[in-house]
């Protein structure tokens, strides 16, 4: 069983994560966020702390942190919080939704988060604090870097490798053995058939009417 947790963030991603934590019957000591959690059922009854410093009142040996900040292109809040609290000696819980299908022959790094219905196949590796979002498929032998976001419904064929801080947008597909450089952003719906350098943005081909 996991140690009790504090959840950082109170937006949409945090709500999904709290939902999973409740299914896993993990004790949630509180939500830490600058904005008060929305008045939704999923946050009901969880104590609220308004400052990051409130975390420091909890012993780093007795709790785990859960990063409930979502990861969108161009924002580094999620990874900055991870680095800040790692420096302070805290550890992050690795989360696997009960409905995720995860091979026993995968390596999940600290703080990675596998959301409902995703599939991670044999010999895949998921990096530190990386989100594999709802329904994404990560095929065998993929190596996904640290601080990536694999958005809902993405399909990665076997042997895909990504460097750190890659975002693969909703519904994108990547063929086998492709390599994607750091900070590269794959737009929603794009099909990737060639290796991509770092710091690039790939847009999907646009539909047109005539």
Q: Which residues pair with 113 in a beta bridge?
A: 95, 131
Q: In angstroms, what is the minimal distance from the CB of 148 to ligand COA? A: 12
By beta carbon distance, the residue nearest ligand COA is 187
Q: Judged by CB under 6 A, does residue 204 bind ligand COA? A: yes
Nearer to ligand COA, 69 or 185 (CB): 185
Region of 61-69, 97-105, 112-120, 180-188 interacting with ligand COA (CB under 6 A)? 180-188
- DSSP code at position 24: T
CA distance 39 to 81: 24
Q: Torsion over CA of 153, 156, 157 and 161, rounded to 10 degrees?
A: -170
Find the helix or strand (DSSP H, E) in which 21 lies.
Answer: helix 12-23
| Calpha distance 194→208 (Å, rounded) | 24
Minimum distance from residue 187 beta carbon to ligand COA (Å) = 3
Rounded to a whole number of angstroms, the minimum distance from the CB of residue 177 to ligand COA is 23
Q: At 67, phi and psi to the nearest 5?
A: -85, 105
Contact residue for ligand COA among 6, 65, 185, 192 (CB under 6 A): 185
Instruction: Decide if residue 169 touches ligand COA (CB under 6 A).
Output: yes
Exactly one of 79, 125, 130, 133 binds ligand COA (CB under 6 A); which one? 133
User: How many residues bind to ligand COA according to rule CB under 6 A?
Assistant: 14
- How far, in Å, CA of 2 to CA of 20, rounded? 13
| Binding flag, residue 42, ligand COA (CB under 6 A) | no
Task: Write the CB contacts of 159 (distance below 8 Å, at least 6 apart in sequence).
Answer: 139, 140, 141, 142, 176, 177
Which residues lie near ligand COA (CB under 6 A)? 73, 133, 151-152, 169-170, 185, 187-189, 201, 203-204, 206
């Amino acid at each position: 069983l996991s140690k009790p947790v504090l959840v950082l963030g109170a937006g949409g991603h945090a709500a999904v994560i709290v939902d999973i934590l409740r299914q896993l019957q993990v004790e949630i000591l509180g939500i830490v966020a600058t904005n008060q959690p929305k008045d939704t059922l999923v946050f009901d009854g969880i104590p609220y702390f308004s400052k990051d410093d409130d975390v420091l009142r909890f012993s780093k040996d007795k709790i785990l942190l859960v990063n409930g900040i979502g990861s969108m292109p161009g924002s580094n809040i999620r990874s900055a919080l991870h680095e800040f609290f790692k420096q302070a000696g805290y550890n992050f819980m690795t989360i696997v939704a009960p409905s995720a299908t995860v091979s026993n022959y995968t390596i999940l790094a600290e703080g990675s988060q596998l959301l409902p219905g995703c599939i991670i196949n044999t010999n895949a590796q998921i990096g530190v604090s990386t989100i594999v979002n709802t329904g994404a498929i990560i095929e065998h032998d993929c190596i996904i870097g640290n601080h990536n976001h694999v958005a809902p419904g993405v399909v990665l064929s076997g042997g895909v490798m990504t460097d750190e801080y890659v975002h693969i947008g909703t519904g994108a597909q990547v063929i086998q053995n492709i390599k994607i450089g750091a900070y590269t952003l794959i737009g929603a719906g794009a099909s990737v058939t060639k290796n991509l350098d770092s710091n690039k943005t790939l847009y999907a081909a646009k539909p047109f009417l005539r």
